Amino acid sequence: MATMAQTGEIHRILDLELGGTQESSSRRRKEGAEVPTGKTPKMNPVIEPLSWMLGTWLSDPPGDGIYPTLEPFHYLEEVHITHVGQPMLNFSFNAFHPDTKKPMHRECGFIRLKPDSNKVAFVSAQNTGIVEVEEGEVNGQELCIASHSIARISFAAEPRVEQIMRTFRLNAEGRLEQTVSMATTTQPMTQHLHITYKKVTP
């Protein structure tokens, strides 16, 4: 298992490979969401039930990818979950090959909470040409969501993903876990990913 120092080093390497500088890398780790005023905004109370997801997270250990049609694989992932004072979270999930560090799957979007409820909507655009909406509930430090709408570009790779389910939870060690299952035109609902992240921001 990677130590905090190793995790920080992987994060710094990934950040520099993504075009950041030494200075921007360490500044981004120290600050929360960046806004034009340069001040970290006050968290909107609506998102308090999801505040356990906030931060920059790095896979530790590498994630596990599986599916009946695929050879099992591992991947690294860097996650940014921020807010800018609005009643929603902003997220990006950036996966990398564990050996070559080449970028792989990427997605970004928003997580919204219906005010005065535990109902959550998750909106995501993925580099594979998929755009999806998942909805579900947050209960304590666990968020369970399932897709009700998936759209794709006309030339996205086959097979088509028809349904997606995810669970995010903060485990007893303070690590974030994500599990993703999916159904495609060839396979019923089956797990595709499981990953544990260590927080790299305070």
Residues at the interface with ligand HEM (CB under 6 A)? 65, 67, 69-70, 73, 75, 95, 104-105, 130, 159, 161, 164, 180, 182, 184, 186, 192-193
Q: Between residues 84 and 146, which has the closer beta carbon with respect to ligand HEM? A: 146
Q: Look at residues 58, 73, 71, 72 and name the one whose alpha carbon lies nearest to residue 6.
A: 58
Beta pairing, strands 161-170 & 142-152: antiparallel
Shortest Cβ distance from residue 59 to ligand HEM (Å)?
A: 10
Q: Between residues 81 and 193, which has the closer beta carbon with respect to ligand HEM? A: 193
Shortest Cβ distance from residue 46 to ligand HEM (Å)?
A: 25
Shortest Cβ distance from residue 62 to ligand HEM (Å)?
A: 10
Q: Between residues 50 and 130, which has the closer beta carbon with respect to ligand HEM? A: 130
Shortest Cβ distance from residue 181 to ligand HEM (Å)?
A: 9
Beta pairing, strands 103-113 & 130-139: unpaired
Q: Between residues 39 and 101, which has the closer beta carbon with respect to ligand HEM? A: 101
Distances (CA, A) of 157 to 128, 133, 153: 8, 19, 9
Q: Between residues 192 and 198, which has the closer beta carbon with respect to ligand HEM? A: 192
Residue 195: its H or E element? strand 190-199
Shortest Cβ distance from residue 188 to ligand HEM (Å)?
A: 12
Residues with Cβ < 8 Å from 80, sequence gap 6 or more? 56, 57, 90, 91, 92
User: Measured in whole angstroms, how far is the alpha carbon of residue 150 from the centre of its chain?
Assistant: 18
Q: H helices then E strands: how many in the chain?
A: 2, 11
Q: Between residues 43 and 134, which has the closer beta carbon with respect to ligand HEM? A: 134
Strand partners, 145: 136, 166
The DSSP letter of residue 30 is H
Shortest Cβ distance from residue 93 to ligand HEM (Å)?
A: 7
